[in-house]
Structure 1
Amino acid sequence: MEFSEVLKLIEKRIGIALSGTRLNRLKKLYEGNREIFVGIEGKDIKEDSWQRIIDAISVQETYFYRDKEVFECIRDSIFPEIFKRLEEGVKIWSAGCATGEEVYTIAMLAVEYLTSLGYIAHTLKGKLTIIGTDISLNALQIATKGIYKDIPMGSFRNTPRSLFKYFDLKDGNNYHVKEEIKNLVEFHLHNLMDEPPIKDVDLVVCRNVLIYFSDEARKKVYDNLIKAMRKGGFLIMGPLDNPDGKIERRFCGRLSYFYKPWIE
């Protein structure tokens, strides 16, 4: 199978329109390891081979507290709404979570907010679940471990000092997410082009992901994200995202987000 055919199959399966460095990395992988691509036309490709392809083309740029305004909006405008139903159980989905920093940031801010209302962190398991999904197994393995190095321009470049109490410092500059936070999160392998892995989600966060997708794929992902939301749920996306569907646009200052009304 020619590289152009392989490229079309991969782009259709994951929705990403490949160009530049990522396209070159994929082409180099194909030219040196064609056996990896066996079975790709029927999705019969081996999982370890597929993950090597994903590693060549995926972008895993993320860090704690990325985009301060977004997390302030979640804390000030969305948490007060969704945590009214905490006793029913609240679900938050970080779609395209990469190595997990966004998931843990949301968990830490949720614990901060709920402890200010009198809740105790270790009693929140079962009431609050924060789910991170990504297409890269390697990224999810890092996320699941919850261990991050404090290096220049790394995971902690924008982290408020107040959140460091949720880490244990071990082995020099390795920060381990504390168990009271890890107990609230789950990580799962998922392709955003597929059916949502969960439903009745109170808050969906999908940022800095769909900028790499084709227009057709982006629309499909919008539909999947909205399908996963419960009525009365919220959706936060990137500034260029404009999902269709029966959801309302709301604002936190200059930042917009979306709400799924109870009555359609």
Structure 2
Amino acid sequence: MDTQNYSYFIQEFKKTAKIDLALYKDDQMVRRLENFIRNKGFKDFKELGQLLQGNKDLVEELKGYITINVTEFLRNEKMWEDFYKVAVPEIIKGKRKIRIWSAACSSGEEPYTIAILLKEHFPTLDVEIIATDLDSTILAKAQKGVYKKNDIRAFDSRILSRYFEEVEADYLKVKDEIKRKVRFERHNLLEDPFPKMVDLIVCRNVLIYFKDDAKNEVYTNFSQSLVDNGILFIGATEQIFKPEQFRFKILKSFFYQKQKEGI
């Protein structure tokens, strides 16, 4: 890796895109960006950094490229069973309304999965779902709620007919009843203030791309966002080492519950 030119690119990208790539793991980010440079016919990181100045389209294209937009409905289905069988009953004790944050939600499959499962298993529960992502372009797609039929195959026909409607031959749209439960907003986990008084945070397979210091800062902020006994739901590729330093205890694999202070 050309360390000097990569450092220059990081500085220029932070100035233009307001995203600090120094907080991401170098090896993974460099591989992605080298592919971008090669495919676009640029010379190196220095040239790419120079071209960012005054080129809003290139900056937006790069922001979309470096964002890891990999998601699907009911991804890791067994974990979603634990979501509604273990996690949700834990947080709704004595509550009529809960607040859920789907962080780094990508194209919206995850927050819509949450809304559908809650409607199915807790139909009278009042739910507010905040769904955020760094990439404004992918958020626009999420807000439309239109997906290829193939991409929704995890749901059975009953769920599909109840919560989706056909808009084209091969596409289904999330019905307004579900869409109204989700509010999409742009949010940078490494820069922006976190929502407060959240009962459950879902952030899956995202922090594996962050360096340890950045990852620990995000876990600290997640803990501060959650109410006491609130729950953080992470991905199948992730694990929090020493969760107690963030006031978490393991509730179930991939589910961490915030402890009251002093416990």
Q: What is the CA-CA distance between 1:36 and the residue it aligns to?
A: 4.8
Which residue, out of 211, 222, 226, partners 1:225? 222
Question: Structure 2: which amino acid aligns with 1:13?
Answer: D
Which residue, out of 75, 78, 87, partners 1:69? 78
Number of the residue aligned with 1:107: 115
- CA contact 2:129–2:181 (8 Å) conserved in 1: yes
- CA contact 1:92–1:129 (8 Å) conserved in 2: yes
Q: What is the CA-CA distance between 1:108 and the residue it aligns to?
A: 0.3
- CA contact 2:194–2:221 (8 Å) conserved in 1: no
- CA contact 1:94–1:133 (8 Å) conserved in 2: yes
Change (3 A) 1:161 1:262: farther
Distance 2:193 2:153 in 1: 31
Q: What stretches of structure 2 of length at least 5 have no aligned partner?
A: none
Distance 1:161 1:59 in 2: 30
Number of the residue aligned with 1:209: 206
Q: Report Cα offsets for 1:157-184 as digits up to 9, x if no partner.
A: 4334342120011211211101110111
Distance 2:197 2:157 in 1: 33
How many residues get paired?
241
SS at match of 2:20: helix
TM-score (norm 2): 0.81
Q: What is the CA-CA distance between 1:3 and the residue it aligns to?
A: 3.5
SS at match of 1:96: coil
Once the two structures are superposed, the pairs formed by residues 29-108 of structure 1 within 5 Å of their partners are 31=43, 34=49, 36-38=51-53, 49-87=58-96, 89-108=97-116
Question: Structure 1: which amino acid aligns with 2:256?
Answer: F
Change (3 A) 1:92 1:61: same
Number of the residue aligned with 2:186: 189
Number of the residue aligned with 2:255: 257
Distance 1:3 1:27 in 2: 13
Distance 2:198 2:5 in 1: 39
Question: Structure 2: which amino acid aligns with 1:3?
Answer: N
**Aligned-residue CA RMSD (Å):** 2.5
Number of the residue aligned with 1:42: none
Distance 1:258 1:83 in 2: 16
SS at match of 1:258: strand
Change (3 A) 1:35 1:144: farther
Task: Tell me whether 128-137 or 159-168 shows the greater mean CA deviation.
Answer: 159-168
Q: What stretches of structure 1 of length at least 5 have no aligned partner?
A: 40-44
Number of the residue aligned with 2:135: 136
Distance 1:6 1:49 in 2: 17
Number of the residue aligned with 2:248: 247
Deviant stretches of 4+, over 6 Å: none
Higher normalized contact order (CA 8 Å, seq sep 6+, divided by chain length): 1
Q: Report Cα offsets for 1:20-69 as digits up to 9, x if no partner.
A: 65122443566576555228xxxxx95x5543221121221111000112
- CA contact 2:29–2:66 (8 Å) conserved in 1: no
Q: Report Cα offsets for 1:85-133 as digits up to 9, x if no partner.
A: 443x311011111101010000000111122xxx2xxxx6xx3111111
- CA contact 1:25–1:57 (8 Å) conserved in 2: no
- CA contact 1:94–1:131 (8 Å) conserved in 2: yes
Q: Report Cα offsets for 1:137-195 as digits up to 9, x if no partner.
A: 111011111011123xxx22433434212001121121110111011101111111124
- CA contact 1:144–1:187 (8 Å) conserved in 2: yes
Q: What is the CA-CA distance between 1:216 and the residue it aligns to?
A: 1.9
SS at match of 1:84: coil
Distance 1:67 1:167 in 2: 21
Distance 1:130 1:223 in 2: 21
The reply to whether residue 4 of structure 1 matches residue 2 of structure 2 is no
